[in-house]
Every structure is written in structure tokens, then in C-alpha cells.
Amino acid sequence: MLGRTICEVFSDVEIIVTDLPEADITDENGIDEIIARHRPDVVIHCAAMTAVDRCEQEIDLAYRLNVCGSANVAAACNRHGIRLIAISTDYVFDGESDLPYTEFDLPTGGRTVYGRTKYAGEEAVRTHCPDHVICRVSWLYGKGGPSFVHAMLNLADGTRPVLKVVADQCGNPTSAYAVARELREILRRPNLRGTFHLTCEGFVSWAGFAEEIFRLAGRKQVVLPCTTEEFPRPAPRPKNSRLDKMGLRAAGLPMMPDWRDALAEFIAKEF
């Protein structure tokens, strides 16, 4: 989803798109050969196992993709002198804080296999490729999905008088378009290093997010707020996914747009 959006936003530069089966990040030699052959100026590492519940059930695969795969990409970039932009997640935090997490708060990997593997993947990037930027995103939606926005609009098909949506988890709904545009700003700073949060400004619950989706899309759908306990999942969801953008402010980078404005742009564009 993010990769598709990057291709659209970066349409004025040469993009080499890679995917399975020709680019397998778990194949150390194979990924090195691809990077060596193309010699890009930068690699944007979007590949990951992001199915949070599936990670709980296929732990070895999650570690192989999110940790070993990231280490392979980072080591190859370092060997060939190529800058690496790696995408990470709010799940590296446990979600128990009452405050938004900054880039300088200590991540723990949280309570999920997904969070632990993504944090270990971050550490692999830091270890194997000093010329890197790690960008954390959360509650992401974008071109083609799958995402919460697409799921809600599919469910609001007129057959469900009421939709129950969790109201005791909060976060920053984030447009892939906003992330891609911020990545362009980061790429204009070739000496920039470190970890940055690229989530839209402002926060809301999943229920509030759903209500705004329906309002902007012109759908008459009743949302019934409910608790996390009413929707048990294999992987526990963080109560607090809010990410503060202290890193962007400190580096003098443009700030991310408000989540409502970004959502309005996306729905007008895609729906």
C-alpha cells in the first residue's frame, strides 16, 4: 500500500520496483545481487510481515521476514554504499503510556510478536547500515488498501444498521500520501540520519475515525462505540498508538498534516 503510493508521489524520479518472487529479502545473496545490480541512490524498505494476528501464530516466519530480512537489506545497502530508508511501526511501543511516544522514548517491542520483530528489525538496520533513516508510521491507509478506511466503507453497504467499533484505543490515522511526501523531504536531506515518526497530527479513537470516514464519504452509518474486550484478538492492540513528531521538529522538517485534512484529501481522491 505504501509502496504503491510512493510510486505515484515519486513519479518524476526513476523508481525500481521490487517484489516477490524476484526480490526475496530473506535470501541474503539474492537481495545483495539485486541491490548491486541496480545501484540505486536509496533503498526504501517497505517489505514486512504486517498481519499482526498472523505473526502471533507464525512466529518463525515473522522473525525471518521482519528481522532477518531487514538485516539482509541493511547489510547489502551498507556493502554497496547505499542510503536506506526503513519503515517501522508504533507497535514497537507497549501502548500503555498516557502520553504520545516520542522518537526518544525507549521502545520495548510491546506485547506482540509483530512489535518485537519490528523493533528487532530496527536494531538490525541500526547495526548493519549506519547511513539510515527509520520512519515509524501507524494507522496507515492508502491507495488500494487494505486498510481500516477500506474495511469501514466496505462494511457500510446498507446491510448493517449499526457498526460496533472500538473506542478505547487511540492513535494517529495516517495517509500514505502524507508519508510519501514527507519521505521526499527526508530524501532532500542526504546527511539526515536517525529515527522519525511520520504520523499525521491529532489523534482519535477507532470509533471516532470511523465516524469521520462515513461523514466525509457521505455514508449514513451508525457507529456504536465499544470496548477492546468486546473484540478479542490473538494479538493485543495498544491502547495508545499516538506518536509525537519531536524528531521532525528538531530536524526542521515540514510537519505532517492534520489527520482530518489528510483523510478528506484521500477520500475525495480515491472514493
CA angle 20, 22, 25 (to 5 degrees): 65
Q: CA distances (Å), 104 to each of 67, 169, 176, 197, in order? A: 21, 22, 24, 10
Q: Is 114 tagged catalytic?
A: yes
Q: Which residue has the cell 540505486?
A: 40
Q: Which residue has the cell 510478536?
A: 113
Q: Would you say the C-alpha torsion 3, 194, 199, 188 has a positive or negative sign?
A: negative
Q: CA distances (Å), 254 to each of 55, 178, 247, in order? A: 34, 11, 11
Going by C-beta distance under 8 Å and a sequence separation of 6 or more, which residues neighbour residue 146?
A: 1
Catalytic-role residue among 63, 114, 119, 177: 114
CA angle 56, 73, 254 (to 5 degrees): 90
The gap from C-alpha 224 to its chain's centroid, in whole angstroms, comes to 27
Of 55, 51, 128, residue with least CA distance to 86: 128
- Burial annotation 41-69 (CB, 10 A radius, 16+ → b, else e): ebbbbbbbbbebeebbeeeeebbebbbbb
Q: What CA–CA distance (Å, rounded) separates 221 from 158?
A: 8
Catalytic residues: 114
